[in-house]
Amino acid sequence: MPVPDFVVQLRSKIGHDPLWLPGVGAVVYNDDGRVLLGKRADNGQWTIITGMLDPGEEPAPGIVREVFEETGVHVEVEHLASVEVVGPVTFPNGDVCSFLSLVFSCRYRGGEARVNDDESTDVGWFSLDALPELNDRHRHLVESARHAGGVPFFVR
């Protein structure tokens, strides 16, 4: 997984100490009601499409960029579906991060789903009754984003 340059620069100063980073995710549905998922290259797990925002990047355009970079699919953001903290996560190299994760419900607008970078080994559309194994958080996001109406899920 490529580490963004700004994270590399921060790590050169702080080592493996915890970082607080902005993360985004997309639950993308097509007109047939199928959801777009990617199989991560680093751990082999199927997930919604996720990524990190660049410094100063707005979240909605950021997730549109991430979805295209990872899958070749063009999307339109419909709603903010979830605001959560993910982590702390310890990566194999010892780096520790926690993410403020903003997950958006998105609609497919074009493009052919494919592995479009080195972050995934597979990408595909799945009907809700034939989802691959997902962790509990991502399964919840897939289900709740279908009904997102502009009021995001968040811990109260």
Using 70 as the pLDDT threshold, list the residues of the chain that sit under it.
1
- Domains of the chain, residue spans: 20-146
Which helix (H) or strand (E) segment is 101 a member of? strand 96-110
Domain 20-146, CATH among 3.60.15.10, 3.20.20.20, 3.40.190.80, 3.90.79.10: 3.90.79.10
What's the pTM?
Answer: 0.92
Q: Among 26, 49, 22, 23, which Cα is nearest to 105's? A: 26
Distances (CA, A) of 22 to 42, 46, 50, 100, 143: 20, 21, 11, 5, 23
Contacts of 28 (CB under 8 A, 6+ apart): 35, 36, 48, 49, 67, 73, 75, 106, 107, 108
| Separation between Cα atoms, residue 72 and residue 11, nearest integer Å | 30
Distances (CA, A) of 72 to 8, 100, 124, 137, 141: 26, 25, 11, 24, 22
Residue 129: DSSP 8-state:
G
| Separation between Cα atoms, residue 58 and residue 54, nearest integer Å | 9
Q: Return the pLDDT at 1.
A: 55
